[in-house]
Structure 1
Amino acid sequence: MKKIIVFLLFTFCVIEGQAQELKWFTDVKEAVAIGNKEKKPLMLFFTGSDWCGWCIRLQKEVLKTPEFAKWAKENVILVELDYPRKQYQTAEIRRQNAELQQAFGVQGYPTVFFAKGVTKNGKTNFEGLGSTGYVAGGPAAWLAVANGFLAQKKK
């Protein structure tokens, strides 16, 4: 019995550790630079992390799974644009997130945009590839939608 409990605990820790290894950028300029260097689009996650029920559900059911972690490492640069009610954010991050919310026309949460960022003369422009939000059905269903947007990029 002890061996089973130890094995289950170890398995849970490995799975949880894999999901947490992902690097989520909060500075979009840094993410754009890395995306251009690695030739990967950005996945911009607009969220209300501490109050939005659907955002929390998307995190739990998809974004914190091993399937998503594996996919994300291979396909995108992750950017979290958070609009919390209780958590502290610097004025610079709040301003950046507000500007991006307006630029992308985000009206509800969660919203996920896939885009290629290009910085020229200190200004960043985005080429949109598509957007989604919460998709029922877990990682497989959500990733099918995301892969559809990324397939358009390759055309």
Structure 2
Amino acid sequence: MDTPTSRAQPAILRPREIPSHDRGGGASTTPLVTRSIGATGFINGITEFAAGAVIPFHSHNCEESVMLLAGEAVLDIDGQTYALRPFDTTWIPPNVTHRFRNVSNVSPMKILWIYASMNATRTVAETGETRPITAEHQESPPALKA
């Protein structure tokens, strides 16, 4: 039985107040919902891609959903290329190799990502290296308790 002191509290996260972490290749990630605020079922965050940035082909050990928030993006998946416009949302099953690209050479691109596991990993297709998603950022975004 949950007690008032053991139950996680709602939080409001303000990305503009949370430090971003350089992922390399022109991508920078801002963690949002993580274990540090009491999440137990999923994690999410925002990644901004510099003009022309492309991340390597990779897969995850869980379901992933990505929404394009701003810019011009392309999703490469299953040998196909899909143009994305703001607010287009993807759903990617576990272990499916894919990547996102910023097709603009001038403007940044921004995505919201959601992983359906607290223990989500990223495996880079070219190297086979697997790392926890949380290893790409610190687990301590400032949150306002609601």
TM range (shorter): under 0.3
Q: Of Structure 1 and Structure 2, which has the larger fraction of its residues in strand?
A: 2
Using structure 1 for the length normalisation, give the TM-score: 0.23
Using structure 2 for the length normalisation, give the TM-score: 0.24
Greater relative contact order: 1 or 2 (C-alpha under 8 angstroms, separation 6 or more)?
2
Q: Of Structure 1 and Structure 2, which has the larger fraction of its residues in helix?
A: 1
